[in-house]
Amino acid sequence: MRSGFTADDVGTQTGRRFLVTGANAGIGFETAKVLAARGAHVVLACRDEDKAKSAMDRIRAEAPEAELSFQPLDLADLDQVRDAAEAVLAGPRIDVLVNNAGVMIPPKTLTKQGFELQFGVNHLGTFAFTGLVHPHVDDRIVITGSIAHKSGEMDYSDLSAARGYHNWARYQMSKLANLLFMFELDRRLSAAARTTQAIGCHPGVALTELQRHLPWPLRTMTPLASPFFNSAAKGAWPTLQAATGAHVQGGDYLGPQGLGEVTGRSGPARATRMARDPKLARELWQRSIELTGVDPGL
């Protein structure tokens, strides 16, 4: 008997509403496609409307009855995050919020509010959007981490990267922040007697558009290495388990079960002691409120 969760384990989702950020490509697209095929209404929250509509067409080509809608969302602009949250709060309630959107090792770039892009999008944008819409979410809030969090360190001293920029270090920090946020969010939801739970996941090493900023020699080697890594569809298995798995609990962290958590079916993943540190998480929570101007009220 096989162990571990795959897309085949996603049961019927008819009557349920999911909002998936960054759903136009990669793992977000594969997640949205499976959920829609199982009968869910999926809201694709994306920056680019044309890309979102193209993704919807591709989903409908495989699932003609799919219930899909588009929500503009640019996590690199906190003003647009607020606009998106306002629109979500004015609409039907959401069963599951899947925070999937992110950026990985881009050239030095700043968000509209002047934060380094990876910390600004991967954590601050996600924190702000979740902080605004969580009262509208009934079941689960999924936050996407990475095995890269294991090398991450929180450093608030230069959030605009004015003194220097190392793309991997900034990515690792943003992914550590994602897990600190997830664990702290679940603790606070529980303390507030909410039935909504926060759950973390990571895709292992999946070949998606996130790799477009890899150095050229590594990009050329990617097709040769593909047998050793997850496809986007397999990389979505932990996200799908976090969003729909029957035995998942708040505060769980899920990822591939293969060697090094790189590939394989989904199941329990390992988060570092630092990622689980409540003191670090409380500090990040408070600083995130100060930086975004969003207080989740938990």
Q: Which of 156, 165, 171, 253 is catalytic?
A: 171
161: which 2 tokens? 């990267």
Query: What are φ and ψ of residue 254, in 5° steps?
Result: -125, 150
CB 16 within 8 A of CB 41: yes
Active site residue 165: no
Three-state SS string over 142-194 comes to: EEECCHHHHHCCCCCCCCCCCCCCCHHHHHHHHHHHHHHHHHHHHHHHHHCCC
Residue ranges in the chain assigned as alpha helix (H): 26-37, 49-62, 78-89, 117-118, 126-133, 167-191, 216-225, 232-235, 237-244, 278-292
CB 18 within 8 A of CB 94: yes
Instruction: Name the strand (E) or helix (H) holding 68.
Output: strand 67-72
Helix axes 126-133, 78-89, angle to 10 degrees: 30
11: which 2 tokens? 């049961």
176: which 2 tokens? 């550590």
Q: What does DSSP say about strands 197-201 and 137-144: parallel, antiparallel, or unpaired?
A: parallel
Helix count (H) and strand count (E) of the chain?
10, 8
Distance CA 239, CA 100 (A): 8
Catalytic sites, residue numbers:
171
